[in-house]
Amino acid sequence: MFLSELGSAWHDARVEPDIAHLDSASAGRSSNAVIEAITKHLWEESRHGSYVAMDAAAQDLERGSRELAALIGHHADELVYRDTARAALRALLGVANLPVTTTVWVARNEFGPNLVEFGRRGFGVHTMPSADVYGRVDTDALENMLQFEQPDFIHVCHIGSGNGVVQPVVEIVELAHAAGVPVVVDMAQSIGHVPTITGADVVYGTSRKWLTGPRGVGFVAVRPDSRLRIDVEDMEAGATAGFIAGRLGLGAAVEELIGLGPHRVFGELATIGRAARERLTGIASWEVVEPVDEPTALVTLAPPPGFQPADVAAAAAHLRKVGLLVTAAEAQRAPLMLDNSVLRLSPHLDVTRQDLDRLAAELRTMGY
């Protein structure tokens, strides 16, 4: 039985999987309509030539950009496409008008590869204070800090890769803007998952996770009045025509989300996350990391005492062998917060109670 009332329709829109797919945070399962949008365009390229096919798809591309932009609170002309979210961040940092000695403030859930990008450019990285053990930003402390010091920008992962906690991004943006500080939001794990209209100067993300679009399509959106003084035309100058079939697939995925009702989907995913945490709490010595009622479907389990990263990886590998697809999320995904790997599951709308029961039963054999 599906946990979500939308689960059956969502499931029927896709091919039957060979496994229980509990790994949307890595890459979601694209629908038949998304796959058809991609393949149809590839056939058109083969028949008529790539640029002719692209010109013929102009209206569909424009509609896809409008709908994606609306989902994140931007306009279509503020969007630039890249291959991945990380490529979008690199493009952003490449054209941003930043001082030589740039300072950036981040949350404890910051994605490890983003920290690598900041380090490569010699940025001074400081961690904002947390309100709890989950790494959620303490906005009262942040407001106080901003009265005495301002970074060149704040970068925050709306939802990180290492746990399913939602950062209070809207409040962070309001406080930062009141102090004249720009904010960049990484929404790779949040778009298609939770509400993503933030008011930030810049947002970026990817098609392939909770939106369940294709791999190979990332995006970045820059407000024209961005405090980072970024010219979208400068970013577009470094972009190619890109993966046009992939952009059409992304457009189809966004259109499906809009058709289902984004807030309805967000609510169902929150319900699924709660059900998964309730089912897995107290299983052997695996510990659910997030609060039970955190409004996400990204759930992480801290391993039993004594487990090393290799043990968590072995647990994930075992689960895959028995038909349960999850991720062993290494500490470097969130190095400011994690000191060991965690087991991460991220079911979408078609998860069933049987899937969670099977997972719970397997975990019992892997704890102490």
Per-residue pLDDT tens listing for the chain (368 residues): 777 779 999 999 999 999 999 999 999 999 999 999 999 999 999 999 999 999 999 999 999 999 999 999 999 999 999 999 999 999 899 888 888 899 999 999 999 999 999 999 999 999 999 999 999 999 999 999 999 999 999 999 999 999 999 999 999 999 999 999 999 999 999 999 999 999 999 999 999 999 999 999 999 999 988 888 776 676 766 555 578 999 999 999 999 999 999 999 999 999 999 999 999 998 989 999 999 999 999 999 999 999 999 999 999 999 999 999 999 999 999 999 999 999 999 999 999 999 999 999 999 987 65
Residue 159's SS3 state is strand
Strand partners, 300: 344
Tokens of 187: 């929404």
- If residue 181 lies in a helix (H) or strand (E), which one and from where to where? none
Helix (H) or strand (E) holding 126: strand 124-127
| pLDDT of res. 89 | 93
What pLDDT is recorded for position 239?
Answer: 59
Contact 290, 300 (CB under 8 A): yes
All structural domains of the chain: 7-22+261-364 (3.90.1150.10), 32-260 (3.40.640.10)
> What does the pLDDT read at residue 5?
79
DSSP states along 89-101: HHHHHHHS---SS
pLDDT of 159: 98
- pLDDT computed for residue 366 by the predictor: 78
pLDDT of residue 326: 98
User: What's the confidence (pLDDT) of residue 225?
Assistant: 85
pTM for this entry:
0.94
Residue 97: how many other CB atoms lie within 10 Å: 11
Rounded distance, CA 102 to CA 113, Å?
18
Q: Return the number of other C-beta atoms located less than 10 Å from residue 246's C-beta.
A: 23
